[in-house]
Amino acid sequence: MRFLTSVHTGLQKIDVWADGPAGRACRVEFRVAGAVHAWWHRDRFLTGLAWDNLCAACLLRPEGPPRSVLMLGLAGGTSLRALRRVVPGVRLAAVDYDAGVVGLAREHMALDQLGVEIHHGDAYDFVRGYDGPGYDVVVDDVYQALEHDVARPGAWSEATMEALSRLVAPGGLLVVNLVTGAGHRAMQSVFRRQFRERWPVVRSVSTPAGQNEALVGGERVLAAGGLRGWREAWTSAQDRRLWDRVRVRRL
């Protein structure tokens, strides 16, 4: 990997790294404060990190593969690219406040090939003002980059939980990405408690190498066995090995 360029979007400074020149690279990473915030590979889709959790979480819907997914916090679209791979017909919509990172993803990560309906603006303003049909899966991956870490913008409340839940179609799932390392445990505890109070079934999806978990809430949520049938959808042996490492447990 080599450094290609650095771009300040007005909200964050993103360093673009790749294993080849722009337009001909096989692998691209967006790094913020040294941490990888988006990942793209020409032939592979899984990473062993948080994006795998989110893709897997979307497939735990008992009624079958999601027909529609709303992603709050798009960045480079890493997890949606993996989901599009295994569920080609899914309708994808996303909201991101940082139009700059979306533009970089279009330039370096073939974002337009995913067919995502992209809305620019505050994700929670979008949620509060939304009056359309529900989504089979709603994914909250809203984080902002700080100087040395990431944090959730604003305050999470029961009102936020209810607003997000209203966007979930009957039989659907609410998914929230959580950082689990030092300094994030209090927030993790708040989310877990509110999920257990709101949803009859709550599961945690994680990978051994990652420092994140995806909380999945719903009236019903598939257990780990629900992911096995998707293994052969990955054509790369490396992707299949990483898929085997995804862990699902009930909270």
Report d(CA 61, CA 154) in Å as an integer: 29
**Fold designation for 44-250:** Rossmann fold (3.40.50)
Does the structure show a pLDDT above 70 at 51? yes
Distance of CA 182 to the CA centre of its chain: 21
Per DSSP, the three-state class of 241 is helix
Compute the mean pLDDT over every residue in the chain, rounded to the nearest whole number.
Answer: 92
Q: How confident is the model at residue 154 (pLDDT cuts 50, 70, 90)?
A: low
Residues 6+ apart with CB under 8 A from 132: none
* Backbone torsions φ then ψ of 118, nearest 5 degrees: -105, 130
Range 144-156 average pLDDT: 59
Q: What is the pLDDT of residue 35?
A: 85
Q: Indicate whether 148 pLDDT > 60.
A: no
